[in-house]
A = this chain, B = another copy of it.
């Protein structure tokens, strides 16, 4: 079993804000992340697929095909978006934390990666150069 990873990027705005809470409660819990006027990040997404390299091509999946799938299923929706408002597959009211985003992105990728003939193994999502979340699908 070998693991192959492709990294893609997107830039997006978001805020952390619980509707049922007052502004003070949001500020107390989320600090500057609750700024009503949003802030944003350059995100890096690592998509790891496992399998046996094909004996002819040496590919688990063709990384260029994988890149196309990630762009179509994830990056085209998230890049230059507002993660709270713009993305159909992000549930309204879900906080767009790195932890939650990585789970939502998994749902977008697991099917298309399987269609490529690979098995989605792990996602890593970097929000800044000092914060990242990892998810293995369960």
Which residues of A line the B interface, CB within 8 A?
A: 1-9, 11-14, 16, 18, 29-33, 35, 37-42, 48, 53, 56-60, 62-64, 79-82, 85-86, 94-100, 102-103, 128-136, 138
Q: Which 4 A-B pairs have the closest CB atoms?
A: A40-B40, A58-B95, A32-B80, A58-B97
Chain B contacts of A62 at CB under 8 A?
A: 29
Determine chain A's interface SS by DSSP, over half rule: mixed
Chain B residues lying within 8 Å of A80, measured Cβ to Cβ, are 32-33, 35, 39
Give 22 CB contacts A-B under 8 Å: A1-B138, A3-B133, A4-B132, A9-B128, A13-B40, A16-B58, A29-B57, A30-B57, A32-B79, A37-B81, A39-B79, A40-B41, A41-B41, A41-B42, A42-B128, A42-B129, A48-B134, A53-B97, A53-B100, A53-B103, A58-B96, A58-B97
Shortest A118–chain B CB gap in Å is: 11
